[in-house]
Structure 1
Amino acid sequence: MADANLSVGNIAKRAGVKVSTLHFYEEKGLIRSWRNSGNQRRYKPDVLRRIALIKAGQKIGVSLSDIKAILSQLPNERTPTVSDWEHIATAWRDKLIQQILYIEKLKDSLTSCIGCGCLSLERCHLYNQDDCLKEEGEGAVILERK
């Protein structure tokens, strides 16, 4: 590929990630490179947009497998267009809203009980006699209630 002329170091610096991160993304099928005649990795400039999308997704808690699934829907492994990004952002918006609501509930519960059912805090306002919360699931079930 004639336009795949950016080195791994150049891409890492421009994207703000480590070289090992690029290798990891490539191993996971999130980005791809080509080898030049000296067997060195080379990238097309548009890989920077894919990396930005990956980083944005990770920052809001989207798993790499979910990011890969979204990217794999693009024809010929192309880089997302503005229209693609609008579609992806819409899909991620609901996830982000749920995270915001969860964080707000956590913030409001930080100084007392988060509903784990342990009964080990003196200030716990939850009375969980006979561990009735176990019927609702694992972890901080009260915090995770809708």
Structure 2
Amino acid sequence: MSRLDIGEIAERSGVPPSTLRYYEEIGLIRSDGRRGLRRQFDADVLLKLSLINLGKAAGFSLDEIAGMFGQNGEPDIPRAQLHAKASELQRQIVGLRTLRDALRHVADCPAPTHLECPTFRALLKTASRRPLAYEPSRSADGTGLRPSRQRRRGSAVTP
């Protein structure tokens, strides 16, 4: 089996060396030793990093992802957990579609002012009764929306 050093893993996976060292520290990945000062990994770590990235993209925490690997480090992903996450993502998709459509309506509304638009007033009533699942903030890498911290902790977020 081929071995790659931390720089090669970082280059091939797009995961910075600092993140690789952190993943090793928390037990998500494991190096096989060092050549000089550089950590060495089996090439299989690239597959594991892809699974970690997929789990993160789906909204799983690193602790949840770590629990998806068995004692031997092989994936052991509970299907019920995947179904639950898929359902959660579906609810978020519906909410984001509604928000997108509302923003488009407000941007294109022919009413003299937004407050004179019955659709906009209905949206305001809905927003005051039901908190949004997402707030407009950037993910750590500067792309896309990320779940609001308040919502993940269980408290409501208002627009």
- Output the TM-score relative to the length of structure 1: 0.64
Determine if contact 1:47/1:79 at 8 Å carries over to the other structure. no
- Is 1:97 the counterpart of 2:92? The answer is no
Determine if contact 1:46/1:79 at 8 Å carries over to the other structure. no
Post-superposition Cα deviations, 1:69-125, rounded to whole Å, max 9, x if no partner, equal 222xx133x333xxx4xx44663232022212222123214537xxxxxxxxx6312
Q: Of the candidates 40, 50, 53, which is equivalent to residue 51 of structure 2?
A: 53
TM-align CA RMSD: 3.0
Q: Which runs of 5+ in 2 are unaligned?
A: 104-114, 116-120, 132-153
Q: Of the candidates 68, 75, 79, which is equivalent to residue 74 of structure 2?
A: 79
The answer for the alignment partner of 1:115 in structure 2 is: none
- Name the SS of the counterpart of 2:40 in structure 1: strand
**Matched residue pairs, number?**
117
Q: Residues of 1 paired with 2:30 and 2:127: CA distance?
A: 54
Identity %: 33
Deviation of 1:24 after TM superposition, in Å, equals: 1.7
Q: Which has the bigger relative contact order, CA under 8 A and spacing at least 6?
A: 1
Post-superposition Cα deviations, 1:119-138, rounded to whole Å, max 9, x if no partner, equal xxx6312496xx9x9xxx84
Which letter maps to 1:9? Answer: G
Q: Residues of 1 paired with 2:92 and 2:43: CA distance?
A: 37
The answer for the alignment partner of 1:18 in structure 2 is: 16
Q: Residues of 2 paired with 1:5 and 1:127: CA distance?
A: 54
Q: Residues of 2 paired with 1:96 and 1:127: CA distance?
A: 24
Determine if contact 1:4/1:33 at 8 Å carries over to the other structure. no
The answer for the alignment partner of 1:108 in structure 2 is: 98
Q: Residues of 2 paired with 1:4 and 1:31: CA distance?
A: 16
Which letter maps to 2:71? Answer: P
- Name the SS of the counterpart of 2:50 in structure 1: helix
